[in-house]
Amino acid sequence: MPFTGGQAAAGTATSSNVAGSASSVTLLAANPMRVGFTMFNESTSIVYVKLGATASNASYTKQLLPNDFWSSAMLGFNYTGRIDAIWASGVGNMRVTEMSA
């Protein structure tokens, strides 16, 4: 994997829109080549995002408020595993971009 400035360089960026759901959905599958991600909550509902499988309002890593943004840079480390989410009410979309080497 190429490195620049001590960080892995991304050669590919893949964007997707994930529809809001009242049951847990996968935002990103595990990807060992992932060097970063960004997420934008484009809904009117809180979204509970979990680093790992099966998000719920009691089992999550980060709450994203409506129009909230989150990125792997905010974690302070690179996470390449599965990322799931669940909406407080299944409306709107999550705009996701995954950067890979």
pTM of the predicted structure, to 2 decimals: 0.89
Q: Please give the CATH topology (third level) of the domain spanning 3-100.
A: Jelly Rolls (2.60.120)
Judge contact between 14 and 96, C-beta under 8 A.
no
Q: How far, in Å, are 8, 10, 11, 30, 96 from residue 3 at the CA level?
A: 4, 9, 11, 21, 23
* pLDDT of amino acid 52: 98
Pick from 34, 41, 83, 42: nearest CA to 63: 41
Q: Per-domain residue ranges for the chain?
A: 3-100
Tens-place pLDDT, residues 22-81: 999 999 999 999 999 999 999 999 999 999 999 999 999 999 999 999 999 999 889 999
